[in-house]
Structure 1
Amino acid sequence: MTAPSGDDFAPAGAAFARLAAVMRKLRDPDGGCPWDLEQNFATIAPYTIEEAYEVADAIERGDMAELREELGDLLLQVAYHAQMAAEAGAFTLADVAAGIADKMVRRHPHVFGDAEVADAAAQTDAWEKLKAAEKPRSGALDGVALGLPAMMRAQKLQKRAGRVGFDWPDADGPRAKIDEELAEIAEASDDTRAEEVGDLLFAVVNYARHLGIDAEEALRAANGKFERRFVAMEAAAGTGFAALDLDAKEALWQAVKAKKSG
């Protein structure tokens, strides 16, 4: 089977062309937007990350209308970076689209070729092998993006190390490491306590990974639960919540928790 051609998606192609034209106009020194003209890759990067998280938030809330809008905002970020690259003579939005399409075809020979995979796990293994062949690494940890959220990056670093045999055989090791790091925090000086807390967080991520839990997703869910319960506490107390003493606030927390509002 061959990859679909661009002609199969003519409406999308026209929409992409219009987006590229809008972006070019925004960055046009003759009549463009002053703010857009001042931006560069580094100043736009935080917005790119923010938009990706807003996409994830819309998915979490199951809001399809919002998801459509947020995906558009994220796509604008791609067009923005591509336009700046085009101005520098590096690449264009068309190059970006063609490149990712080629990569997907290349890395899915079981779909676009004659290769076979038994299941999703086998496909993941095949993907990693193809990726490694395309981008040889100088070391096992090479290529783990510095810009990832710290918890997500910890998971990726641990997985990479595990692929070359540097890993606990089961969850008991990282669980014991948590106790060890807690003890070290208790003994730490003011100068070293932050470092020891970092080691503890790294150990917790490792423990979650060995339990088959995505630490980033788990913490996101915990944040959401705390937020829902806290809002319910404030609603139950009314305008006087801040003036309540800690015991009263704790009683409210337990009452909300008992109602399983989280």
Structure 2
Amino acid sequence: MPELSNRKQQLEAFDRLLTIMDELREQCPWDKKQTIESLRHLTIEETFELSDAILENDMDEIKKELGDILLHIVFYAKIGSEKKSFDISTVIDSLCEKLIRRHPHIYSDTIADDEEAVKQNWEKIKLKEKGNTSVLGGVPKSLPALIKAMRIQEKARGVGFDWEEKNQVWEKVEEEMQEFKAEFNVAGDMEIDHEKATGEFGDLLFSLINYARFIEINPEEALEKTNLKFIKRFQYLENAAKDSGKKIEDMTLAEMDVYWEEAKRR
């Protein structure tokens, strides 16, 4: 494990990055062309790459991806300074002030004895700061639906609107499941109202996400881990079929299941 740097070295490294950013912006044709808008989709991509590295628990890759995201932050701040809107100093100062405001149990006389109290204080202060007319006003519209559902539920909990016990939440899951099953009989061939079915299925998913939150499971992370597990098993199936001289598209489901079960045991 490499020796970690001290505060002086950290500040020197950050200063070096700012100097390189200045040089790239002045001399590199690609860097000179970039705008806040052109960087946006690249920043989103870098964020997902960091997410992948975290799920794989690859610390070296996490370090690299954090560097890429830090570059983007410095890049945005450089453009902001050119527009005389903000610079890296005002970005950091604004963050520090926000952290102090939102941790009154550390920097003031507010009492917060546990994590839940901290979260509730955070949401109340955030609501007051932003001047939102709704507790849910701060949830980004462009968030993926699953993550958005999590944030909606967390924010509602922050002001006390939540179930009291996890068994109540599970009862809601079962209720939604029965409603969906009764309304759209899985055993029948009757044509269904897809708009209504979509709404009911959404209710079921929302209740499952709620239950996951109560038992401290991140549903986005859980689903992604299942995605990765499926990919690994399916690719084993593909390779095993190829090694046996078979084309997967020509195999029966029973034949594929043999390899699938092998993949599950690996």
- AA paired with 1:187? I
Counterpart mapping for 1:69-84 below 5 A: 69-84=64-79
CA displacement at 1:230 relative to structure 2? 1.5
> Does the CA contact (< 8 Å) of 2:102 and 2:122 recur in 1?
yes
Moved more, 179-188 or 104-113: 179-188
Counterpart mapping for 1:9-20 below 5 A: 9-20=7-18
Distance 1:184 1:100, change over 3 A: farther
Of residues 228, 231, 245, the one that matches 1:227 is 231
Residue 103 of structure 1 corresponds to which residue in structure 2? 98
DSSP 3-state at the match of 1:141: helix
- AA paired with 2:25? R
Residue 222 of structure 2 corresponds to which residue in structure 1? 218
Of residues 133, 136, 140, the one that matches 1:141 is 136
Q: Structure 1: how far apart are the matches of 2:75 and 2:200?
A: 38
CA displacement at 1:92 relative to structure 2? 0.6
Q: Structure 2: how far apart are the matches of 1:135 and 1:72?
A: 30
1:21 lines up with 2:16 in the alignment: no
Q: Structure 2: how far apart are the matches of 1:20 and 1:245?
A: 59
Q: Name the TM-score, length of structure 2 as normaliser.
A: 0.78
Distance 1:202 1:42, change over 3 A: farther
CA displacement at 1:86 relative to structure 2? 1.6
Moved more, 234-243 or 115-124: 234-243
1:32 lines up with 2:17 in the alignment: no
DSSP 3-state at the match of 1:22: helix
Residue 251 of structure 2 corresponds to which residue in structure 1? 244
Q: Structure 2: how far apart are the matches of 1:110 and 1:241?
A: 63
Distance 1:9 1:97, change over 3 A: farther
Residue 5 of structure 1 corresponds to which residue in structure 2? none
Residue 204 of structure 1 corresponds to which residue in structure 2? 205
Distance 1:122 1:241, change over 3 A: farther
Deviations 1:192-243 (A, max 9, x none): 4xx8436524531332312424321221121121122223223433343524
Q: Structure 2: how far apart are the matches of 1:144 and 1:187?
A: 33
Consecutive unaligned residues of structure 2, counting only runs of 5 or more, are 1-5, 186-190
Distance 1:170 1:93, change over 3 A: same
Residue 176 of structure 2 corresponds to which residue in structure 1? 177
Count of aligned pairs: 245
CA displacement at 1:70 relative to structure 2? 0.8
Q: Structure 2: how far apart are the matches of 1:180 and 1:251?
A: 35
CA displacement at 1:87 relative to structure 2? 1.7
Residue 3 of structure 1 corresponds to which residue in structure 2? none
> Does the CA contact (< 8 Å) of 1:110 and 1:117 recur in 2?
yes
> Does the CA contact (< 8 Å) of 1:209 and 1:215 recur in 2?
no
> Does the CA contact (< 8 Å) of 1:20 and 1:79 recur in 2?
yes
Q: Structure 2: how far apart are the matches of 1:42 and 1:247?
A: 51
Identity %: 30
Consecutive unaligned residues of structure 1, counting only runs of 5 or more, are 1-7
Q: Structure 2: how far apart are the matches of 1:66 and 1:173?
A: 40
